[in-house]
Structure 1
Amino acid sequence: MPELPEVETVRRGLGPAMVGARFTRVTLRRPNLRFPFPERFAERLAGATVVDLARRAKYLTAGLDTGETLIMHLGMSGRFDVALPDGANLSPGDFYLDGALGTPKHDHVVMAMSNGATVTYNDARRFGFMDLVPTDGLATCRHFARMGVEPLGDGLSAQAIARLFRHRITPLKSALLDQRLIAGLGNIYVCEALHRAGLHPELPAGALARADGSPTPKARLLARVIRDVLTEAVAAGGSTLRDYVRTDGSSGAFQHRFRVYDRSGETCTTRKCTGTVARLVQAGRSTFYCTTCQSLPVDRVSPQGRVAHNERTGKRSRTDC
């Protein structure tokens, strides 16, 4: 599933074709994606001008001059192809590693723009969706009402991490993936950020807050490396593993910079570290971490990710990070 850097890369690719342009015709080739299209969807878009194109977590939002906002989610395999007025197509049409993906039979929404560009939404698995909501109610709509802070915005700081995670015994990785706390973080980039911060994925999230609620040094480091990892990934055009490509059809490049993700059994890339990358499963997702520079005392967390009792004292232990 495309994560925040991939969605941001798509947003930047769509901008020149959509912002300032008017929908001259919208063609729906099926009645639904993951959900049915909104009532009179194509009709409501036709004639509307795209005022701005933004991103909220893993969602794209196109503000319209009609007072509505078009919300777009890529799901697992969604992609946008952009054809330019001169006839050049910015996508090779079948770039995905899985040959069934990216083919014309999965072109479900075709948007003709007043500047001559044609934007086509292709989605083999149809887990993506589109919606139209009033712009003045965007923040409180059903998609965003319970969404947490943006990891690339001003809202994510060491203080915010301490406030959000204080008293939580849930594993740190699970807390970071909770979209109600921090919106937009996904499996790949959480693994990479935790490795850079030297934090074990099963550490209780509350360990990043001191007793008085202030952030620990590791909370400050984590806030910084989350931003660093996401910024680097956006600059690299995201990560291409299976389903994701950019709007010009090219693949992202951040996968070549993975330090731990999908590197199980390999030597840690951290300078002077001799540890090995290991894999564990948390909530059905693969987690990759270094057994040495992300080590965790055995009395901190059980194999299931729960706070464990110290075998020697029989008491719960707590050590701020």
Structure 2
Amino acid sequence: MPELPEVENVRNGLKKLILGKIIIDTHVLWSNIIKEPSVSEFQKKMRGQKIVDIKRQGKFLLFILNDYVLISHLRMEGKYRIEKATVPLTKHTHVVFELDSDEQLRYLDVRKFGKMSLVDKDKLHLHPSIKNLGPEPTVETLKTEDLIKALKKTERPIKACLLDQKTVAGIGNIYADEILYDAYIHPERKGNSLSSDEIEKLKTSIIGIMSDAVEKGGTTIRTYSNAFGVEGNYQSYLNVYGKKDETCQRCQHKIEKIKVAQRGTHYCPHCQKIGR
């Protein structure tokens, strides 16, 4: 958490709140959040930059500025809030951007795992966070041949393939489980064992699940909320994730939980047979 749907909803909220505003100053209260450049250089370069646009690639937020791009990875529990400068900071506030609107864009992170990188605009495509990302999970960008190419030579479990951001950008643990359930594919199936028909179904499930999750505001399992402080709603539509020992809505068998690619993995052993 957050995965693509959550980050996309954060992006949409921030665009409505801070687009066109100018960053007057930046305060870094926890230096480990800033991956590059140095904190002093980061603060210096951010000064006077206008927020021209906010984009997303995979799970990364991209703040497009006059001269730079701020790459922000929320990791487990990072979030942004807009507050008046007079509102006291919470103990989990680690970066504060002073805006010309007498407001502050604040980055909060309970676990302090999030990272920010400031890069030149013309070098964004070369940054390690961005250059190896796979296609976005949309009709326009994700093609069956992309998946066939990514899966045909690997014996890794399909769950691990979906978590690999080089395969498809933005899928994490929650949506990988939901996608495989929707596609009737066992999470331990080897990537190269999937037939062309199964890969086509997998593509359809990836696009459908991710699109639906974006539309419903993402999934709130722990603390996720968007830039307005509103929680996601997709948790009400989850079929397998977090439902160990509950009944599968399709076949009435019990949902099981195993570990795949070192991640807790939920699936229905009747609908998602290993031998398929």
- Give the Å deviation of 1:293: 1.1
CA contact under 8 A between 1:17 and 1:117: conserved in structure 2? no
Counterpart residue number, 2:238: 258
Residue 227 of structure 1, aligned match among 204, 207, 223: 207
Instruction: Give the secondary-structure state (helix, strand or coil) at the position aligned to 1:130.
Output: strand
Q: Which residue of 1 aligns with 2:108?
A: 122
Q: Deviations over 1:190-216 (max 9, x none)?
A: 10011011111111111235xxxxxx1
- Please list the CA deviations of residues 34-90 of structure 1 after superposition, one character each: whole Å capped at 9, or x if unmatched: 746635112211111111100111110011112x111111121211111269x8x8x
Distance 1:45 1:106 in 2: 21
Provide the aligned C-alpha RMSD in A: 2.0
Matched, 1:218 2:198: yes
Amino acid at match of 1:175: C
TM-superposed CA distance for 1:8, in Å, is 0.8
The equivalent of 2:27 in structure 1 is 27
The alignment's TM-score, normalised by the length of structure 1, stands at: 0.80
Q: 138, 152, 157: which one pairs with 1:171?
A: 157
SS of equivalent to 1:192: helix
Shift of 1:24: 1.7
Give deviations 1:212-271, integer Å, cap 9, x for gaps: xxxx1221111111111111111111111113122222211111111000101111112x
The amino acid across from 2:260 in the alignment is Q
Give, in angstroms, the shift of residue 124 of structure 1: 1.7
Distance 2:223 2:29 in 1: 21
Q: Does 1:279 align with 2:257?
A: yes
Please, which runs of 5 or more residues in structure 1 have no aligned partner?
A: 94-102, 210-215, 298-320
Q: Percentage identity across aligned positions?
A: 33
2:70 matched residue in structure 1: 70
1:268 and 2:248 matched: yes
Specify every segment of 5 or more residues in structure 2 that has no aligned partner in the other structure, as ranges. Answer: none
- Cα pair 2:35 2:117 within 8 Å, conserved: no
- What residue identity is the alignment partner of 2:47? A
Letter in 1 for 2:202: L
> Does the residue aligned with 1:223 lie in a helix, a strand or coil?
helix
Gap change, CA 1:22 and 1:133, over 3 Å in 2: same
| Distance in 2 of aligned mates of 1:70 and 1:275 | 47
Matches within 5 A, 1:141-156: 141-152=127-138, 154-156=140-142
2:268 is the counterpart of 1:290: yes
Q: Which residue of 2 aligns with 1:189?
A: 175
Q: TM-score, normalised by structure 2?
A: 0.93
Equivalent pair of 1:76/1:243 in contact (CA under 8 Å) = no
Aligned partners of 1:34 and 1:137: how far apart in 2? 18
CA distance in 2, matches of 1:21, 1:296: 53
Cα displacement (A) at 1:154:
2.9
| AA of the residue aligned to 2:200 | R
Q: How much does 1:126 deviate?
A: 0.9
SS at match of 1:40: helix
For 1:131 and 1:267, the matched residues in 2 are separated by 44
Q: Retained in 2: the 8 A contact 1:17–1:115?
A: no
Equivalent residue number for residue 12 of structure 1: 12
Amino acid at match of 1:42: Q
Residue matched to 2:188: 202
SS of residue matched to 2:128: coil
